[in-house]
Amino acid sequence: MSGNPSESSSARFAGDVDTDRTGSERAALVTDIQRAEGLSPRVTRAMLKVPRHAFVPDYQRHRAYEDSPLSIGHGQTISQPTVVAMMTEALDLRGDEVVLEIGTGSGYQAAVLSMLAKRVESIEIVEPLAEQAKQVLARLGYENVTVHVGDGYAGLPDLAPFDRIIITAAPPEIPPRLVEQLAVGGKMVLPVGPRFGVQDLIVLEKQQDGDIRRRNLGPVRFVPMVRGGGR
């Protein structure tokens, strides 16, 4: 697929280089997730290709292939790999979709999505995280991902509608402006619930008549989705 990274696409930093150890640790992690969750072959291949260790801070590199969320600074985390896999699977990507991601964070989820979709437009409200994610994604050659600094609650109306929308932080309620930006027949995956509490992982599908079909995938814990101005 056009825009996917290749080994010669850009220079690598030392922390980006895949070694026998990181490759085997990633393979073991993805195998465990695949057995537990029954991932599709496409999502499994994407998870195997994206080097999670390149998206975590240096002091967390030794934990990159644990199945757990990790701090990336600024009060934010890189999601647990199992949750990344579940949310990616729920989007049901075929390869020709334009995806809106709310909450770029480290850029890891966007990198996984980029292997499975035509284009990823990602919004991050924390500017230093956005800039860092841009640099890592560019270094690794993920050319079909664009990172925007902005308020995720507003989305990107000028680029809408989106075939898929994924939110990687938890709003207390489903943001109506993002539902408006979802294409007919499109799907949105997001956690919904209280700040720093247990939330529900929800899949929404917009029907031809505009009605929304809703499905609950179960309990999760995400950092809260922040509005512009930090509210």
Active site members: 79
The secondary structure of residue 80, as a DSSP letter, is: P
What is the full DSSP assignment across 7-21? TTSSPPPGGG---HH
Compute the Cα dihedral for 17, 85, 136, 119 and give only its sign. positive
Bridge partners of residue 135, in order along the sequence = none
What is the full DSSP assignment across 133-187? HHHHHHHHT-TTEEEEES-TTT--GGG--EEEEEESSB-SS--HHHHHTEEEEEE
The secondary structure of residue 102, as a DSSP letter, is: E
Residue 212: closest CA among 196, 192, 197:
192
Q: Give residue 17's identity as a one-letter amino acid code.
A: V
Cα–Cα distance for residue pair 54/84, rounded to 1 Å: 16
